[in-house]
Chain A
C-alpha cells in the first residue's frame, strides 16, 4: 500500500510540476497576478508530494519490504540501519528520486524566501525550475519506477554492494546531488533573466548565494568521494581521473568560474552575459554528469545501445535543456545591456583571467572524458585516457591560475596598481621561495617539480593571509585597531581568504602524495617484519572477526619507529556472505603530516600473507584543505550582505479587467 501511495504521489507531483511550469510563465508574460500567484503554492505542493514519495521509499527500505523490487535488489534484513537508509539512494531509481527531492526542495525555498524578488522574476524562476522537475519526474515514471512490486515476494534481499556500505560514501551522493541540483537554481535564474531581458545587480545578488551553496555542496561531495576512494580502495590514491569523478569535477570548475564572474556582475555590472552563459554551462555539465553516470554509457557505448530507454531519455533531457537554453541565450543575450568598462589590469581583469583559465581547464577534462566514448562510437577503437593525459593538460592550465590567485583580491576595481599589489605580496613571495629551497634541500632526490609545488602552496596560503593582513592594516596600525578592523571585516572577505588558503593546503597535499609516496609490497609470515619510510611493520598474527553482516580476516600489525612501539594497525579483509563479495579494509595511522597505510592481501601457499603498505606524505592535508575551502564557502554564505540589501518587493497590481 505504501509503495502504491508513493508512486501515486510521484504522479501527482508530475501533474503539479506541469501546472507550475506553464501557468506562472503565462502569468508573468501577461502580468496577471492571479496566474503568477500559482507559482508559490505549486512549488510547495510539489515539494510535499516528492517528499512523501521519498519518505515512502525510505520506509520501505527501513522495514525491509522485499515485495518491492528495488528493496529486494539493494537491501538485506541483516544490514545495519544506516546502510538500509543509504541503500535508498545507492541505486539508480532511488538516487533519481533523491535528485528530484533536492530539486523540489530548492524550488520550495525560493517560493518561501523569495518574497523580495520581483514577482514576475520569481514566477519565471519557479516555472523554469518546474520544467526540470517535469523532465526528471517523467524520466522516473516512465523508465525508472522505484515502486515496482515483486510477486511472489522473496524472503530475503540480495544485499547492497559491500563497497557502498560505508559511512562516508553513504552521504556522498546527497552532497553531490545538492551541488548538481543547486546549479539548477542558478540555471533557472539565468533563463528567467534571459526571458525578462534584464540582468541587474539585484539579480546577481540572488544568484550568488545559490552558486555558493551549490559550489559548497559539490566541494564537500567531491572531497568525501575522494576521501572514501583513498581509505577504502586500498591503493593509497585519492583521485583517479575516472569518468565518474570527472563528471563531478567539471560542474565544480564551471561553478567556481561562475562564483567569480557573478562577483563582477554584481559589483561592477560587467560580464553579465558571460555570467549567464556560465550559469547555463554549469548546469549543463551537471546534467552531463548525471547522463554519464546514469545512462550506462560509461561502461560502454554499446551498453547504452543495448538498453537504450534510460540513456536516450536522459540524452533527450540533455539536448532539450542545453540546446534550448543556448538557443535562448543566442537570441536574447545581445539584448542585455553591458556596462562597467575596466582596464586589463584590474580586479575585473583578474577575475576574467580566472574565468578563462577555468574554462580551459573544464574543456581539457571534458575532452579527456568524452574523447574515448566518441572514438569508440565512431571507429570502435578502445582507448583509455588516464592520469598522464590530465597531467599534461589540466596541470599546466591550473598552475598559472594558482600563481594568480593571491594577486586577484589585492587588485582594485576598474584600474589597478600592480606595483602596490605586488608589494603587499612580498612576504608571501619570500616565504614561498624559502619553502621551495628548504624542500629542495630535504628532497633533492625526488621529482624536481615537487619543491615548486610546495612553494606554490605556501604562496597561496601566505598570499591569502596577506590579503587579510592588508585589509585590517596589521603591523601598520596599532594591534587594537587591527583587531577592531578584523571584527568589522565582512564575512565574505574571510570566506575568500579561507577558500584560497584551503586551496593552497590541498595543493600541498596533492604534491606530497604524488611526489613522495613510498610503497612496500611484501609477503610476511606471522612474526616477520618489513621496513617502510623508517617504520618497522611486524605482522603479529592473523585472526578472524565477525561483523554485523560480514566476517573479517584481521591482520594485527605492530608499528615501530627506532625501536619504539607507535601503534597497532588492524587491516581487514571482509567477506559479505549475502552479497558473495569481498572488500579490503585498509588500516590508516595518521600523525597529521603523513599517513601510514596498511593493506592485508591474500594468503600465499606457504602460509605467508601479502602485505601492502604506503607512507603518504601530507595526504591528510588534501581533505583538511578541502574542509577549509568548504568552511570558506560557509563563511561567505553567512555574509549579511547576501541577506540584506536585496531588492525591495515590487508589488504587481492585479491586471485591470478588460
Chain B
C-alpha cells in the first residue's frame, strides 16, 4: 500500500464515520425532541392527541385528587387556561399545590393530559424556567429573583 493509498483510506474512513454521526444526529433531532407547551399554548395552537409534549404551569390550588390504584389527578394552570392531568405513580418529593410543575406525556381525545413523568424542580424560590417564562407571557409572573438558579440541585430533583 502506498503512502497515498494509506492516506486515502484514513480520509475515507474518517469521512464515513463523520457522515454517519451527522446523519444519526439529524435524524434524531427531527424525530425525538419534545416541545414545551403552556396550557394557553395547548388551547391556542392545538396539540395532536398522542403527540409527546411537555406541559408546564402551576399546580392549581385544591385540585390534587388521589384516586384509587395509585392514580392522581391535578390541574395545571397558567391562570388563563387550565388543563386536567392524570398520572399513575409516585409524585416527586418537590411536588406541591400552587407551585411549578412540568408534566411529560400526551393529550387525550377528551382534552385531558396523561403524564407518564411528572417533574417538579423547585423549592420556595425556584420555579422551572419554562414555567416562569410561560407565566410572564400571560402576565401572571410574581416575584423577581425567583429565577435564581439552583445549580447544585439542578438535574437532581428533576426526575419522576
Contact = CB atoms under 8 A, between A and B. Distances in A.
A binds B: yes
Interface in B125-160: 129-130, 132-133, 147-160
A294 interface: yes
Interface residues of A, number: 71
Contact of B93 (A306, A584, A604): A584
Nearest to B150: A299
Given A90-B152, A344-B6, A382-B130, A580 B27 contact: no
Contact of A300 (B6, B54, B129): B129
A306 B10 contact: no
A244 B158 CA distance: 11
A472 to B, nearest CB: 33
Counting chain A CB atoms within 10 Å of each CB, the highest count among B9, B25, B36, B153 belongs to: B25
B28 A393 contact: yes
A302 B144 CA distance: 13
Contact of B155 (A245, A344, A382): A245
A343 B3 CA distance: 9
B21 A610 contact: no
A180 B26 CA distance: 30
A24 interface: no
B70 A523 contact: yes
A389 B66 CA distance: 34
A307 B90 contact: no
A606 B69 CA distance: 11
Given A234-B90, A389-B28, A584-B90, A303 B149 contact: yes
Contact of B147 (A306, A368, A390): A306
Contacts of A390: 28
Given A302-B129, A384-B34, A610-B70, A360 B17 contact: yes
Contact of A522 (B27, B70, B129, B157): B70
B62 to A, nearest CB: 14
A356 interface: yes
A385 B36 CA distance: 11
Given A244-B155, A601-B90, A300 B9 contact: no
B129 A343 contact: no
Contact of A298 (B1, B89, B155): B155
Interface in A230-273: 233-235, 237, 240, 242-245
B110 interface: no
Contacts of A364: 21, 24-25
Contacts of B150: 161, 299
Nearest to A372: B33
Given A356-B14, A582-B93, A392 B20 contact: no
A300 B133 contact: yes
Interface string B18-44: 101100110111011111100000000
Interface string A14-38: 0000000000000000000000000
Interface string A384-403: 11101111110011000000
Interface in A434-451: none
Interface in B75-102: 88-91, 93-94
Contacts of B160: 235
A602 B66 contact: yes
Contacts of A580: 123-124
A163 B157 contact: yes
Nearest to B123: A581
Nearest to B69: A523
A382 B35 contact: yes
B13 interface: yes
B155 A384 contact: no
A383 B21 contact: no
A235 B159 contact: yes
B28 A604 contact: no
Nearest to A297: B149
Nearest to B126: A299
A352 B133 contact: no
A164 interface: yes
A296 interface: yes
A521 B89 contact: yes
A629 to B, nearest CB: 23
Nearest to A356: B17
B59 to A, nearest CB: 14
A332 interface: no
Interface string A549-591: 0000000000000000000000000000000111110000000
Interface string A338-378: 00010110000000110011001001100110011000000
A92 interface: yes
A573 to B, nearest CB: 8
Contact of B129 (A90, A234, A303): A303
A522 B70 CA distance: 5
A581 B99 CA distance: 14
Contacts of A293: 151, 154
A606 B157 CA distance: 28
A529 interface: no
A465 to B, nearest CB: 29
Contact of B17 (A234, A357, A383, A522): A357
A583 B155 contact: no
B28 A161 contact: no
A381 B32 contact: no
B33 A383 contact: yes
Interface in A262-318: 293-294, 296, 298-300, 302-303, 306-307
A612 interface: yes
Given A161-B152, A229-B159, A244-B154, A302 B36 contact: no
Nearest to A583: B93
A605 interface: yes
Interface of A: 90-92, 95, 161, 163-164, 229, 233-235, 237, 240, 242-245, 293-294, 296, 298-300, 302-303, 306-307, 341, 343-344, 352-353, 356-357, 360, 363-364, 367-368, 371-372, 381-386, 388-393, 396-397, 521-523, 580-584, 599, 601-602, 604-606, 610, 612
18 contacts: A161-B152, A242-B155, A293-B151, A303-B129, A303-B147, A352-B10, A368-B25, A382-B36, A384-B36, A389-B29, A393-B24, A397-B21, A521-B88, A580-B123, A582-B94, A601-B89, A602-B91, A612-B70
Of all A-B residue pairs in the complex, the 5 with the closest CB atoms, nearest first, are A300-B129, A296-B149, A388-B32, A382-B36, A244-B155
Given A300-B133, A302-B133, A583-B93, 16 more contacts: A92-B151, A161-B150, A299-B154, A360-B21, A368-B28, A371-B29, A384-B33, A384-B35, A389-B33, A396-B24, A397-B24, A521-B70, A523-B68, A580-B123, A581-B93, A604-B66
Interface of B: 1, 3, 6, 9-10, 13-14, 17-18, 20-21, 24-25, 27-29, 31-36, 54, 66, 68-70, 88-91, 93-94, 104, 123-124, 129-130, 132-133, 147-160
